[in-house]
Chains A and B, each alone.
Chain A
Amino acid sequence: MSDVVLEVQGLNKAFGGLRAISDLSFRTVRGEILGVIGPNGSGKTTLFNLITGVFPATSGGVRFRGNSISRLPTDAIARLGLVRTFQSATVFKQESVYENIRRGSMFGCIGNPAWFFRKGVISAGAKKARATVEELLEFSRLADVAQVPAGNLPYGKQKMLGVAIALAQHPLQLLLDEPAAGLNLAETEAMAELIAQIRSKRHIDVILVEHDMRMVTSVCDRILALNYGKVIGIDVPARIVAHPEVIEAYLGADFE
Chain B
Amino acid sequence: MKAMKSALKFLSIIVILAVLPFVLRAPFLTHIGVMIGLYTTLALSMNLMLRIGQISFAHGAFMGLGAYGSAVLMMRLGLPFPAAFFGAAFGVTLLAWLVGQVFLRIRGVYFVLLTFAFGEIIVLMFIEWVSLFGGSNGLAGVPRPGLFGHEIQSRDGFYLLALALAAFAYASVRALYRSELGAVITSLDENEALTRSLGIDSRQYRLLTFCFSAFLVGMSGALYGHYLTLVTPEDYGFWVPVNLVVINVIGGGSHPLGSILGALLLVPLPEFLRDAKQYQVLLYGILLIFFLLFMPNGLYGVVEKFRRGRKGAAQ
Contacts and interface: CB of A to CB of B under 8 A. Distances in A.
A92 B180 CA distance: 15
Interface residues of A, number: 35
A202 B268 CA distance: 61
A95 B194 CA distance: 13
B199 A107 contact: yes
Nearest to B198: A107
Interface string B161-200: 0000000000000000000110110010011011111111
Interface in B190-240: 190-191, 193-202, 204-205, 208
B184 A107 contact: yes
Interface string A83-102: 11110001111110001000
A92 B193 contact: no
A244 interface: no
Nearest to A116: B181
Where chain B touches its partner, the secondary structure class is helix
Of B181, B190, B195, B196, most A-chain CB atoms within 10 Å: B196
Contact of A112 (B187, B191, B201): B201
Interface residues of B, number: 20
Contacts of A122: 180
A17 B191 CA distance: 30
A106 B193 contact: no
Contacts of A78: 196-199
A86 B196 contact: no
A94 B190 contact: yes
Nearest to A114: B204
Given A114-B204, A116-B181, A92 B194 contact: yes
Contacts of B194: 86, 90-92, 165
A141 interface: no
B197 A83 contact: yes
A125 B204 CA distance: 20
Contact of A108 (B180, B198, B202): B198
28 contacts: A52-B197, A54-B193, A74-B196, A75-B197, A75-B200, A75-B201, A76-B201, A78-B199, A84-B197, A85-B197, A90-B191, A91-B194, A92-B190, A93-B190, A94-B190, A103-B187, A104-B198, A106-B183, A107-B198, A107-B200, A108-B198, A108-B199, A112-B201, A113-B208, A114-B204, A165-B194, A169-B198, A169-B199
